[in-house]
Amino acid sequence: MPQIKRSQTTRFLSISIGLVYLWFGGLKYFSGFSPAEQLAQDTIAVLTFDLIPPNYSILLLALWESLVGISLLIKSSRTTLQLALLHILLTFTPVFFFPERCFVELPFKFTLLGQYIFKNIIILAALLQLYRLSKKNSYGYQSMER
């Protein structure tokens, strides 16, 4: 069995997350295609105190996710990873803003929407690992791209 190098693993991780971001971001450009569209609009409304109209907020989110996805596919820079980490942390806010939409029974019985949000913990862990490796790289340690 061939040995897989750490750089190959981190590159695969970056590409995998990039595809998820690009796909989910792409869905948001088309009204009704994303199962999280309404929740995203409602969450952004709360986070921005209703300063951004829903039709613009979903397009801004689509743009954010798509750009992060493309950036992760090309090369995962620290800035891209920071934007992805901020985004993925914000995906957990509906659990606090709209618990009735996320849980059938608090705190363990998720709705399908709650499960959709909770699975992001895996993406969060992967992004933290990529960020950790990029931080080492910026201080002269081993490169992520080897």
Q: How confident is the model at residue 5 (pLDDT cuts 50, 70, 90)?
A: confident
Segment 76-120, tens digit of pLDDT: 899 999 999 999 999 999 999 999 999 998 888 999 999 999 999
Across the chain, mean pLDDT equals 91
The letter for the amino acid at 58 is I
Q: How confident is the model at residue 126 (pLDDT cuts 50, 70, 90)?
A: very high
Segment 45-70, tens digit of pLDDT: 999 999 999 999 999 999 999 999 99
Higher pLDDT, residue 73 or 75: 73
pTM of the entire predicted model: 0.88
d(CA 11, CA 118): 24
Domain positions in the chain are: 7-138
Provide CB contacts within 8 A for 94, sequence distance 6+.
39, 42, 43, 101, 102, 113, 117
